[in-house]
Structure formats: C-alpha cells, structure tokens
C-alpha cells in the first residue's frame, strides 16, 4: 500500500463504511412514534450491555429522545431496503412515517416504546449517558431486553444462509454480507 492524504472532497468516514444499519424507534413530543435509520452505531460494553448511536441534533429523533429517553433499536433485513432508505430521507416532524408505511408494532416489556414487529431483532433500550460531539449527540443506551427471530439467529449471530442485514455504504448504496472467511489457528509472525 502507498497511503496518501485524503483528497479534497472525499469524506473521511467512508473508510469505516459499510456499516450495519439499525432503525431507532422513539416516542415524540407530537404524540407520535417515529422511526429513523442510523448506521453510526456500535456496541460499547457487555456489563452493562450498552450500544452507542450518533444522532444528529437537527433530526426529530433527537428531539424525541430528549423528550422521552427510551427507544427500541430494530435490525431490519435487507428485504426492507427501500423502506429503510425512505425512513432516513423524511422527518417525523413532517410525516407520520409509521402510518405512511403501515408499520406493524408490538408492545415492549421493559420500555414504553414499542418494537418493530417485522424486524429481525429488536433491543429495548434506555438512555444511559450521552455526550455532545459537534453536530451530533452520541447516546449510550443500556439494553434492557433483546428479542430476535431464532429462525435467523444462532449462538454465533446471523445465519446469512437464511437472511441478510443492510450495510450502509453511501447515500442510496448498501451492501449485504456476501462471503464467509475464517482466520487460521496459527499465530501470525
């Protein structure tokens, strides 16, 4: 490799894409529920179980989380590509996205925000901590409940012979997981 400085106009963060896309479901001050895809997300700790998600302070989801600090973190399958993209291009300030797309919800056990019934998985979450960073608020959620479709989920994670998840590339471009490789047992010199 010959590494060079990033050319003008290139975005630094794409070196860390594609990224698994989740959909945050929140309870909002306008009395509605809202859904927003977020690919800037990561597990943080196991004890307690936490997940961090970067939420733009211009988004309605930010307002909703400040209003009601609970959420469900839903994992859509790749079949939901167009829907997920649409959820990420309009704001719950202007549109009732759940009604528009006839999204089916089911009650959560540990939080008062419902889960997305057609997701592959849904995590019930409460804001544990947060930090303002630039234009974003990074929310660290404590995970209070985890629900998965066990047809697709194994002890080692998703069974990609049966389903796939959405990895966000850039703009309208996504990837799916396509190839399984395994590290050798021998130590690398």
Chain residues that interact with ligand FMN, rule: CB under 6 A: 21, 34, 36-40, 54-56, 59-61, 85, 88-93, 168
Tell me the closest approach of the beta carbon of residue 135 to ligand FMN, in angstroms. Answer: 9
Q: Is the dihedral of CA 17, 139, 124, 155 positive or negative?
A: positive
Nearer to ligand FMN, 89 or 154 (CB): 89
Nearer to ligand FMN, 19 or 115 (CB): 19
Tell me the closest approach of the beta carbon of residue 189 to ligand FMN, in angstroms. Answer: 39
Tell me the closest approach of the beta carbon of residue 79 to ligand FMN, in angstroms. Answer: 15
Nearer to ligand FMN, 98 or 143 (CB): 98
Helix (H) or strand (E) holding 174: strand 174-175
The residue of the chain with the least Cβ separation from ligand FMN equals 88
Separation of alpha carbons 38 and 55, rounded Å: 8
Tell me the closest approach of the beta carbon of residue 2 to ligand FMN, in angstroms. Answer: 31
Which tokens sit at 121? 């998985």
Do 151 and 142 meet the contact criterion of CB atoms below 8 Å apart?
no
Q: Angle CA(52)–CA(55)–CA(57) in degrees, nearest 5?
A: 145
How far is Cα of residue 4 from the mean position of the Cα atoms in its chain? 32
Nearer to ligand FMN, 87 or 111 (CB): 87
Tell me the closest approach of the beta carbon of residue 58 to ligand FMN, in angstroms. Answer: 7
Nearer to ligand FMN, 100 or 187 (CB): 100
How far is Cα of residue 186 from the mean position of the Cα atoms in its chain? 35
Q: DSSP code of 165?
A: B
């Amino acid at each position: 490799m010959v590494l060079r400085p990033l050319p003008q106009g290139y975005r630094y963060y794409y070196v860390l894409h594609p990224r698994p896309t989740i959909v945050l479901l929140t309870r909002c001050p306008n009395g509605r529920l809202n859904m927003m895809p977020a690919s800037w997300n990561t597990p943080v700790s196991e004890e307690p179980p936490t997940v961090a998600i970067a939420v733009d302070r211009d988004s309605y989801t930010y307002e909703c989380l400040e209003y009601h600090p609970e959420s469900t973190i839903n994992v859509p399958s790749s079949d939901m590509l167009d829907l997920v993209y649409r959820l990420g291009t309009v704001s719950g300030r202007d549109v009732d996205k759940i009604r528009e797309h006839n999204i089916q919800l089911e009650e959560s056990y540990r939080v008062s925000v419902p889960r997305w019934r057609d997701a592959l998985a849904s995590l019930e979450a409460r804001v544990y901590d947060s930090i303002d960073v630039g234009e974003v608020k990074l929310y660290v959620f404590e995970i209070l409940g985890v629900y998965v479709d066990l047809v697709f989920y194994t002890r080692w994670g998703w069974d990609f012979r049966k389903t796939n998840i959405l990895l966000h590339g850039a703009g309208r471009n996504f990837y799916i997981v396509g190839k399984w490789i395994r590290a050798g047992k021998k130590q690398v010199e």
